[in-house]
Amino acid sequence: MKFATVILCAVLCVLVSGDLFSQDIHNKMMVLQNGKLLTITKGIVEKGSILIQDGKIVKVGKGIKVPAGAKIVNIAGKTVMPGIILAHSRAGTRAKEWDSNENGDPVMPELRIIDSINPQNSSLTWLRTGGITTILVAPESKKVVSGQCALIKPVQGTIEDMILKFPAAVQFSMGEEPKKVYQPKRVLPSSRMGISYLLRKTFTETEEYMEKWQKYKKDPKNSTQPERDEKYEILSRILEKKLPVILHANRSDDIMNAIRLSEKFGFKIILDHCTEGYMVADEIGKRRLPVIITNVGTMWKTWEKQNHKVENAEILRKNGALVAFQVGEGSPYPEKDLLLLASVSLKKGFPREEVLRAITINPAKMFGVEHRIGSIEEGKDADLVILDGDPLNIKTNIVSVIINGRIYSDSVIKEQKKQTYE
């Protein structure tokens, strides 16, 4: 009897103290102990610990007292950074079937990308292996207004479990992309004039719609209730500055058109791609505009990206823009390796700490979720990446990814082991 108890205890001990990284345990309380913490907003903490409770970061610092019942994860010699935010992607909407674009009218803000995201899509878990814990999923830029974007976390579950913020923004597009769709059909918009006109018309209609409702709300008894229109409902939230616009603009004139339009009607814009941004960097910089830059050039199939330069990110940052990175449509390089693709900007003088900010806190600020994600701070979501060295070094491996306090051990190394040819 006694012997059996000893054996049982021994087995339990082995189970509990075993390699915790290899198990997917959703623990209510967990302490990551003695790691190098890159908090992003509050400097670097050497030999620091993080207390996680119910998916949130409760305490960050040195010598945290371990509460009773908390799971201890020793991360000595490891580096922890906040989960990476991919600021623009189509992940989850494409597999053999593509659901990232709806044909038809060039202005459709009523479309919702969450209706196209398949939580079972392998691209989501694949992005997670690269340390990406939040993704902005946007519809394609083939329309002038192509729909509402979502900020999601690649966790297991339904789309409701995944959503961090919806709608997070509305995707707009200027320049070549909508032209390519509507020009062959010989319908509006077939030129840059047409695109700008359509946007002016749409926003004027929205202003009228808002006026009608304001008038009605002032005196509901003596006026008839206007008809509700989903399209203008979304657009009025944009004009109320409650929802930002992600604006696909590559050429410098498209960028300036976008800025002009946003100032005329008063809405918040986030410049998407912004390829020729360096040509109008002072204009973007003095307005402190957020930009989501495609850092690495590939074989463009469009004219508007031909003046791509890696210097773009650094020039815009120096001028005052808030920089984030994306991988870009049709890139032959893995979107999951955003960390590495963003690091390429180091070659042109982009500072090291700014690279990390551009894939964490900067995009969090852009989408108004900096109270939830983007840094290692008390009260924020426990979205963390544990690495075995400097995140920007190519020889560094991602050991574990934590989302909402849950350890996902489908790390890069494990994936590789599975695929290694025996």
- Residues of the shown chain interacting with other proteins in the complex, contacts defined by CB under 8 A: 90, 94-96, 98, 122-123, 126, 129, 296-303, 305-306, 332-334, 336-337, 340-341, 343-344, 346-347, 352, 392-395, 412-413, 415-416, 419-421
CB of 293 to other proteins, least distance (A): 15
Taking the C-alpha atoms of residue 131 and residue 38, their distance in angstroms, rounded to an integer, is 14
Taking the C-alpha atoms of residue 312 and residue 280, their distance in angstroms, rounded to an integer, is 10
Residue with smaller CB distance to other proteins, 126 or 216: 126
Dihedral sign, Cα of residue 259, residue 260, residue 261, residue 267: positive
CB of 335 to other proteins, least distance (A): 8
Cα dihedral: 39, 45, 46, 50 (round 10): -70
CB of 225 to other proteins, least distance (A): 45
Task: Decide: helix, strand or coil at residue 78.
Answer: coil
Assigned token pair, 206: 């929205």
8 Å CB contact between 271 and 289: yes
Q: How far is CA 151 from the centre of its chain?
A: 6
How many angstroms separate the Cα of 345 from the Cα of each of 35, 232, 316, 361, 397? Answer: 27, 40, 12, 17, 20
CB of 298 to other proteins, least distance (A): 6
- C-beta atoms surrounding 2 within 10 Å: 6
Assigned token pair, 371: 């109270």
CB of 282 to other proteins, least distance (A): 24
CB of 122 to other proteins, least distance (A): 6
- DSSP structure string for 6-69: HHHHHHHHHHHHS-GGGS----SEEEEEEEEEE-SSS-EEEEEEEEEETTEEEEEESSPPPPTT
Taking the C-alpha atoms of residue 150 and residue 166, their distance in angstroms, rounded to an integer, is 5
Residue with smaller CB distance to other proteins, 110 or 337: 337
Residue with smaller CB distance to other proteins, 61 or 297: 297
Residue with smaller CB distance to other proteins, 234 or 387: 387
Taking the C-alpha atoms of residue 51 and residue 30, their distance in angstroms, rounded to an integer, is 6
Order the strands of the 245-249 sheet from edge to edge. Answer: 84-89, 132-137, 145-152, 163-173, 245-249, 269-273, 290-294, 322-326
Taking the C-alpha atoms of residue 166 and residue 160, their distance in angstroms, rounded to an integer, is 10
CB of 303 to other proteins, least distance (A): 6
Residue with smaller CB distance to other proteins, 223 or 397: 397
CB of 254 to other proteins, least distance (A): 16
CB of 218 to other proteins, least distance (A): 50
Residue with smaller CB distance to other proteins, 110 or 276: 276
Residue with smaller CB distance to other proteins, 343 or 400: 343
Taking the C-alpha atoms of residue 46 and residue 281, their distance in angstroms, rounded to an integer, is 37
CB of 341 to other proteins, least distance (A): 8
Residue with smaller CB distance to other proteins, 128 or 380: 128
Task: Please state the length of the chain.
Answer: 422
Residue with smaller CB distance to other proteins, 63 or 184: 184
Residue with smaller CB distance to other proteins, 334 or 368: 334
